[in-house]
Structures are given as C-alpha cells and as structure tokens.
Homo-oligomer: A and B are copies of this chain.
Amino acid sequence: MKIVFTFEPPFEMKADLNSSYPDIQFHYFQNAELAKEDMKNTEVIVTYGEDLDDEHIYQAEKLKWIMVTSAGLERMPFKAIKEKNILVTNARGIHKIPMAEFTIGLILDYAKSFQRLWKNNRSKVWDKSTPLNELHNKTMMIVGAGAIGQEIARLAKAFGMNVIGVNTSGGSLENFDKMVTLENISAVLDKADFIVSILPSTKKTIHYFKRSHFEQMKETAVFINIGRGDVVEEEILMDALKNKEIAHAYLDVFQVEPLPENHPFWSMENVSITPHISSTTKNYLPRALDIFRINLHTYTNNKERFINVIDLERGY
C-alpha cells in the first residue's frame, strides 16, 4: 500500500514511520503540487488540510482516506469529498495542551504587567509602582467550550478563577461555574474580566461578536482571540479598542494572515499580536502522527472505529 504526504516531516519522524510499517510505501512531498501525480493512485493522503482542491480529489481515483494533521478544515474541498464519500479524520485534541498553556500565559502577561516590566528592564528602570493584579477570583469567559475550552477552564479553576462557558447547547460542563448558549452571551458579558474566543469558523460563528457585545463588556476587560479571525469584524474590534470599551486585546488570528504590514492593529498600544501560533510546539507533529498511526492501524485491519472522524455535512 502507498501513502502520500503533501508535506515533509523531519527526517527522524519519516525514518520512524518507514521502519514501523515496512509493508507501506510512504511518499513524502514538499507540497501538494509536487504530490499531484502520486495522488492519482493512492488510497491515503496525509495533509495539513490547506492545500487540496476539488481537482485533486476527483483525480485521485483510489482515494479512501484523508488524514488532516491539523484541526482547521475551512479550506478542505468538501464538495468533492462528499461526492466521493471519502473518510476524513483530523488531529483534533492535540491542540488543547499548548493552546490552554498559551491562554493562561497571556492572561498572566496582562495581570502581571510583564510587557511594562520588560520595557522597564530594557530602560534600566526599577519601578515598584508597576500595578500587578491576580487571576485569583477574577472571571474568565470561554466562548467555544469544546476540548480546548475545557482544558483552559480546568487550568483557570486551578488559579481560583470563576469560569463562564459559552457554547451551542449551554449544558453544564466540568470546571465551568456557569454555562450559557451562544445566543445568551449578553446576559453574562458584563461579568467577565477575560474573554477568550476559541470559536471555529463556521456559518454560525462568522461575525458572531457584535458592536453591542463590546459595549456590554467591562472597560477593564481583556479580549483574547485564539480561534478564528472572522469571529468579529476587525472594524468593530478596532473601534471598541480605540473607544476604550475594553482595556486590551491579545490577537493570535486575523481575517487576513499574515497580518498585512500596514494593518492598524500592529501599532495599537492596547493590542498584542502573535502570529497564529497558539497551538505550535515541538510536540505538535509527533502528536498528530500518533493519531495517524492509531487510524492507520484501524485502516489496515478492520476499518472499524476510526478516531477523530469528520462529519462531512457539518464540516467538523
């Protein structure tokens, strides 16, 4: 059997896969374009999920399974995939540890005034009057209470925070003191000191945050977006920050990425920008390939009970 990768894992990971499955021919390519010919007669494609188009799918006559080694599926050619009823699995679940750590790191960066302290450090200034705050007893609102949101909630509770969750159902969840539905967020927005959005990009979530939502937030609130940039129109977010309706925004995701060099966000005092990096760690690809291996075992045996299967209708 042949498996086509549309990216090149590091040498050791390739060597490890090759030696683990001597009966499988792994063909690694630097990108989907170079992999195109080989895709035509493969049963399995492994991809980061941003490089396939309908043509690839139609031409791949033997294709049965696509393993996406990420979680975002917005760019997958689902129309062709549905027509051909191809199995799609992804790497969801491996993001929760790095993204939850990243989020707690950001709120501590804010509460402990670290950016101001590092600026003082560079200027050789010893200023004991720098205002430091605590997470303890503060309120964290997590918008999108899936696997990642639940891991953030678990850590927030360890810090003694009050945790409010927002998701589709509003049903109760461990480590959340209160849950509301996406429709009812206004009822609790004025309670939150930190608002973290981990919403994916779907028809339901595009431009979810409205002008009125930011008006309802505390003036001291910090908005953190590690989900998808299109959850709020950048114009609206920019106005809320300029008008000091909220105190600060930490943004890891944007409507256009990389964020263009002339974008006003770059030079706003109360915006901190990171380059869509919250889930990135040295452990990322090894963990994604662990999921691939589990499903590969299933694929080469009984083809029953794959993990992380994508519902082609819902798209996640």
Interface residues of A (CB under 8 A from B): 97-98, 101-102, 104-105, 108-109, 111-112, 114-115, 117-118, 120-121, 124, 126-128, 130-136, 154-155, 158-160, 257-259, 261, 266-267, 272-277, 280-283
Contacts and interface: CB of A to CB of B under 8 A. Distances in A.
Contacts of A131: 282
Contact of A133 (B114, B124, B266, B282): B282
B120 A275 contact: yes
A106 to B, nearest CB: 8
B160 A121 contact: no
A101 B136 contact: yes
Contact of A98 (B98, B134, B259, B280): B134
A159 B96 CA distance: 12
Contacts of A276: 128
A136 B97 contact: yes
Contacts of A275: 117, 120, 126-128, 130
Given A126-B257, A130-B275, A133-B282, 4 more contacts: A105-B105, A109-B109, A121-B274, A124-B267
A277 B118 contact: no
Nearest to A257: B126
Residue among A102, A105, A117, A118 with max Cβ neighbours from chain B (10 Å): A105
Nearest to A108: B105
A134 B277 contact: no
Nearest to A160: B97
A136 B133 CA distance: 25
B277 A101 contact: no
A290 B121 CA distance: 34
By Cβ-Cβ distance, the 6 closest A-B pairs, closest first, are A105-B108, A158-B158, A126-B258, A124-B266, A126-B275, A121-B273
Residue among A132, A272, A280 with max Cβ neighbours from chain B (10 Å): A132
B104 A134 contact: no
14 contacts: A101-B159, A104-B108, A105-B108, A108-B108, A108-B109, A117-B274, A120-B275, A124-B267, A126-B259, A126-B275, A130-B277, A133-B281, A134-B281, A155-B158
Residue among A128, A155, A258 with max Cβ neighbours from chain B (10 Å): A128
Contacts of A160: 97
Nearest to A118: B115
A134 B101 contact: yes
